[in-house]
Structure 1
């Protein structure tokens, strides 16, 4: 079992296909297929089941995946630790961050400015992703620190609370409800809601929020359309195909130009916890530790 075989295996498992994995690893598809074939031969078991153009993990593949992810993460940790040891003192160190795109707001910008002023020798690598993808990048060692919504239930990850982000009911510009603030959700009776699909194994994920809050506020049975993209949700709301519950950071520009409107609801009692995630046994670099402290200083209890 080689590192290249493990990389190919985890990339296919993450992306669901050989073509996407070959793009990610910058290798030809035949080379990726050969690595998987050799890995399956060495283990004596099929790791993937081909279903048309996509592939899914077999039972053997699911059994291998957490160990493969841990092995790659350990290798990446070792590479970082050696680089940091070789570059000190006076050399540059890299902070590898993965964040949900909507969290790249003024709080993060100020934290990055402060970090760079205190640690000018360090550089920053920043990747944006969904909450699920942020955790996957941290779990696989591709990012040292992640910022996402809701704690991750994975016992291999530590979720560090940073604050909560207020949620607003977002409606199209021409929606008949014109109030900026309402005591409850009754004005939206009969509306179709747009929300994220629930995540398996993540009972506190954003996707479960509407399922809990709508019945609690008298809208049991309200129709919900599941859309796995925040951008797509906004476009559908703009087109008048539903209303949505969204973090304020995700709609600032649309509210500014008037393509969407937001309604604050007094009794909604819904907010998104914002957390930093890191691997419990992962390499914790000096820049990552320093940035987490800076981020805590620049993150108020309620993000707005």
Structure 2
């Protein structure tokens, strides 16, 4: 049986014209969106969309299914609205905890969409410099939901949102290893680094990555703010983080 999420993904691709734009709209990674479409195609018994160089177009099966999918989503929206009005869930407060490194890139676009959909619900956001402090706050009941890397030993409810990709930033005008190629951190062992203050959880990430490459970073500047690191001005520097599940 088709799920509401699968129908939402299908309709989003049709209305946005591409998988990339649809993934941004439904707040999913593109691989997850593609999997959802494939699962729906298995349910209906045929391909719904054809990928072309710059867009996705409906197949004959997709054209036949689209009106029913749109009607189903409209009915689901009506059910939600009726239920929320009856339960008085269009007012109140939602407390969100987040690590600082995720706020600008990942969370703020979601907050804007949340406010558009739930204007009567007050959203209270608290940022934490490290994952440990965020976990302590969650255990103490300081927030209703948290957005952060997966904490070790967490036994409460958890939903994987996607994978955050971090990068190494080189000085302006300096060439990197090239598109699609990985940078060997050992080549940066003699560089002066823009690093994070120990209180920032990314400090541990940088130290662990460098240690795995066989060296400790030589620090030129330390900052407590994740957004400040790329703007710091030592003569030769790099910034490093890692790939992590959120």
TM-score class, shorter-chain normalisation, is 0.3 to 0.5
Give 1 or 2: higher strand fraction: 1
TM-score, length basis structure 2: 0.47
The TM-score with structure 1 as length reference comes to 0.40
